[in-house]
Structure 1
Amino acid sequence: MKYTLKKSLGQHFLKDEHICREIVGALPVSAGQQVLEVGPGAGAITKYLLQIPDIQFKAIELDAEKIAYLEGTFPAIKGKLIHESFLDAAKPFAGQFDIIGNFPYNISTQIMFRVLDWKEQVPVVVGMFQKEVAQRIASGHGNKDYGILSVFMQTYYKVEYLFEVHENSFNPPPKVKSAVIRLTRLEHPPEVASERKFYVLVKAAFSQRRKQLRNPLKHLFDKAYLQDPIFTKRAEQLSVADFVALSHKMI
């Protein structure tokens, strides 16, 4: 059975078997574990996930043609496919589940925000991203790649930048470089004042990332507190801990 590439869905299929095995090997597995693959496509890593004994596996795929291809090629996947967009789907499991995938690059940032929505149930994520997005998620403060996504993900997850993937590992080769990262939920994440306040704070801080924080944040703090030296810094100079501490001082 053949399948077609759909540019509208950002499809680039992984063909390097060594990389496929490395991605699957980066996911720690134990008996009875629930695992969701996002965007299995033509099954490059799916075939290895289906071989892991004693896990509860599901895959979510938007493209009907790929669903038919996967079911025809991997009989073991029958009954384990969810035909929907990950961004619209309900949680696929009750209880804890890990997420893995060669994520569609055009929605990879949205996928990360969905993971944050589900963080109470998602202890580990292993994903391939466009290299720039992977760097943004993994970047520490004081770095030009550090931004909103870095702060939000690192507040709740330890992020490891595992390895890069050459464009020739794909069919067709994408015009961008790729990288694989692993996110492991923190056992004791820092306590933000409230998720809503924290979200408002971080977004406002990076809305004018070249300016001193006093400018973009003046509407969120008392005038007296705005004299604190921290407000002479720029957003990218603040650590996750700094943002968490500031969230408790907001009006």
Structure 2
Amino acid sequence: MHNNKRKQGNPDKVRPKKSLGQHFLNDQNMARKIVDGLKTDGTQDQQVLEIGPGMGVLTRYLAEKPHITLRLVEIDRESVAYLKKNYPALEQSIIEGDFLKLDLQSIFPGSFSIIGNFPYNISSQIFFKALEYRDHVQQIVCMLQKEVADRLAAQHGNKTYGILSVLLQAYYNIQYLFKVPPGVFTPPPKVMSAVIRLERNERRQLGCDEKLFVQVVKQGFNNRRKTLRNALKNLNLAAEVSSLPMLDKRAEQLTVDEFIHLTRLIEESRAGTNS
């Protein structure tokens, strides 16, 4: 009996687990501020998915918002037991599982928003997963390592601008909301955190081969000290593409639109070669 209880988790408190990258927010004002970062209509129903609620510090304020259908995804069994005991009204809304392995459309048909204090060790994977569902994920409000938040919100020409900046900004407008000090967590992380909001932009299609776009962006930034002409060398660029002045630049100097344009030119040159 005792073993079974341990397996199900302690419903009275949750130990932060290093393996899950857990740092529990313990500041109620900060929790409310994060939840207020989520844009809601106030009159229309909105579907919201919280990732990694832990002991429900954000959940408490999300549950108070009108017109929200809330679902929670939590991988930690101990946290699930705690949430079921302390938020009994939400018991049927808790999904015990790994967000990265879920079919998000089976949770919410139609469009929805995501919110959460993202574990630092998987925040990039969460964003790549959200990109797969970009036609459904309308908004993301999240706390993550400040360094990562800086990178995602960075504009071209900035040293922190990188692969994920371009891939996310192709589909989302990203707003840097505020910084969060280590002292509001248990245990305190060794780094600063920050909260950002991503809102789906008007771009439905890139107008180029999306796989090639990802390849061009990744290859450009993986060789970020080189000019794009050298960084993209093994894509066997056609002479008319290779001679473009744009390729004298480094990856961090190109806007999202320029990356899309470059991908389209590479695609067209290949189609011309094959025809």
Q: Which of residues 28, 39, 42 is equivalent to 2:52?
A: 39
Does the alignment pair 1:2 with 2:13?
yes
CA contact (8 A) 1:100 1:127 kept: yes
- The 1-side partners of 2:55 and 2:69 are apart by 20
Q: Which of residues 52, 74, 91 is equivalent to 2:65?
A: 52
Greater displacement, 1-10 / 213-222: 213-222
2:226 is paired with a residue of what secondary structure?
Answer: coil
- The 1-side partners of 2:225 and 2:141 are apart by 32
1:78 is paired with a residue of what secondary structure?
Answer: helix
- The 1-side partners of 2:101 and 2:234 are apart by 34
- The 2-side partners of 1:199 and 1:67 are apart by 36
The amino acid of 1:21's aligned partner reads R
How many Å apart are 1:197 and its aligned residue? 1.0
1:86-165 map, 5 Å: 86-91=99-104, 92-165=107-180
Percent identity, aligned pairs only, is 49
CA contact (8 A) 1:137 1:150 kept: yes
1:219 is paired with a residue of what secondary structure?
Answer: helix
Does the alignment pair 1:186 with 2:201?
yes
TM-score by structure 2 length?
0.89
Unaligned runs of 5+ in 2: 1-11, 271-275
1:61-72 map, 5 Å: 61-72=74-85
Q: Which of residues 237, 245, 260 is equivalent to 1:229?
A: 245
How many Å apart are 1:172 and its aligned residue? 0.8
CA contact (8 A) 1:60 1:84 kept: yes
How many Å apart are 1:218 and its aligned residue? 2.3
The amino acid of 1:89's aligned partner reads L
1:245 is paired with a residue of what secondary structure?
Answer: helix
How many Å apart are 1:139 and its aligned residue? 0.4
CA contact (8 A) 1:163 1:179 kept: yes
2:265 is paired with a residue of what secondary structure?
Answer: coil
TM-score by structure 1 length?
0.97
How many Å apart are 1:190 and its aligned residue? 6.4
- The 2-side partners of 1:188 and 1:107 are apart by 26
Unaligned runs of 5+ in 1: none
CA contact (8 A) 1:190 1:241 kept: no
Greater displacement, 194-203 / 211-220: 211-220
Does the alignment pair 1:197 with 2:212?
yes
How many Å apart are 1:90 and its aligned residue? 1.2
Does the alignment pair 1:214 with 2:229?
yes
1:21-36 map, 5 Å: 21-30=32-41, 31-36=44-49
2:220 is paired with a residue of what secondary structure?
Answer: helix
Does the alignment pair 1:245 with 2:261?
yes
- The 2-side partners of 1:227 and 1:114 are apart by 36
Greater CA radius of gyration, 1 or 2?
Answer: 2
User: 1:192/1:176 Cα in 2 relative to 1: closer, same or farther (>3 Å)?
Assistant: farther
2:199 is paired with a residue of what secondary structure?
Answer: strand
Does the alignment pair 1:79 with 2:92?
yes
CA contact (8 A) 1:192 1:247 kept: no
CA contact (8 A) 1:33 1:97 kept: yes
The amino acid of 2:227's aligned partner reads Q
Higher helix share: 2
How many Å apart are 1:215 and its aligned residue? 0.7
Q: Report runs of 4+ in structure 1 exceeding 6 Å deviation.
A: none
RMSD in angstroms over aligned alpha carbons? 1.1
The amino acid of 2:260's aligned partner reads V
Render the CA deviation track for 1:126-183: whole Å, top value 9, x for unaligned.
0001001101110001111000000000000000000000100111110011000000
